[in-house]
Amino acid sequence: MIREAIERAQTRLMVAIDNPKLDLGFVADLVSSMKDLVVGFKLGTPFVLNKSLRTAKNIIETAKGTYFLADLKLGDTAQMMEYVAEVIWEAGFNGLVANAFMGFEGAIDKLSRKCYNLGLELFLQVSFDHPASHIIDGKYPEIKMVIARADPDGLVVPASKTMMLRDLRETFGNRYVILSPGIFAAGAQPGEGLCYGADVEVVGSHVVSAPSPLEALNSVIKSQTRYLSENRGKCLVR
C-alpha cells in the first residue's frame, strides 16, 4: 500500500497531523487540498486521542484511496499492541507505527503477525531526534536485528540521523520503505532525509500551522528539489 501511494504521489512528502486543537473543518480541507500531492497523512497520538478514532475514521472515509498512518509509537505488551492494531485497522488506517526497541520475541513478533493477518502495514520507529535518544541508539545493532527478524513494511528514522539512514539503506537495500520526520522541527533541511536514503520525508507544523498550508507545502517541495540538486554528488542513488 505505501509503495503504491509513493508511486501515485506527485511529491515525496507525508503530512503529519498531530496538534489536538486543530479544527476538524480545517483538517478536512487540508486533507482534501493535499491528498493528490502527498504520499499520505500521519495522524499522531495527541490528535487521535483528542478527536477520537471515530473522527479519524470519518476523515479517512472522506479521502478514500489516500494513505493514512497511525503514528502511535506503540510500546506495550504483545496483547495490548494487538488490541490497538485491531481498533486501528477497524478505523480504516493503512499502517501503524510501533517502537523497534520493544524487542522481537513476545512483542514485535506477535504484533507483526497480527498486522499481517489484518492487512495492516507495520512501521518500526528506529530512533528519535531528541537529545536523550542516545539511550536508544546505543542499542542500534540489536534494533537492526529486530528489523531483520520482524520484516516490517517500513521504518521511521529522523531526517537528522543521516548516518543511520545511510546505514539502513545500505544494509537492507530497498527492502523497507523509510519515512523521515523532523524536517524543520529537528533542524533537518527538506531533501536531506531523501539524500541519505529515505523514501519519504514527513513534515508537520511547518505546513499545518502556516497561514497558507498549501503554499507552505509547495515551498517545501521546491526546497527538497533544490537540496537534492545541490547535493547530487553525495546523495545515495534513489
pLDDT in tens, 35-85: 999 999 999 999 999 999 999 999 999 998 999 999 999 999 999 999 999
Give domain status of residue 238, yes or no. no
At residue 183, the pLDDT reads: 85
Give domain status of residue 87, yes or no. yes
Three cell numbers, residue 158 = 529522523
How many domains are there within the chain? 1
SS3 sequence, 19-80?
A: CCCCCHHHHHHHHHHHCCCCCEEEEEHHHHHHHCHHHHHHHHHCCCCCEEEEEEEECCCHHH
- Quick check: 237 pLDDT over 80? no
pLDDT in tens, 102-148: 999 889 999 999 999 999 999 999 999 888 888 888 899 999 999 99
Average model confidence (pLDDT) for the chain? 93
Give domain status of residue 217, yes or no. yes
- Quick check: 21 pLDDT over 60? yes
Looking up residue 43, the CATH number of its domain turns out to be 3.20.20.70
Give domain status of residue 237, yes or no. no
Give domain status of residue 214, yes or no. yes
Task: Provide the residue range defining the domain that includes 104.
Answer: 2-230
- Quick check: 238 pLDDT over 70? no
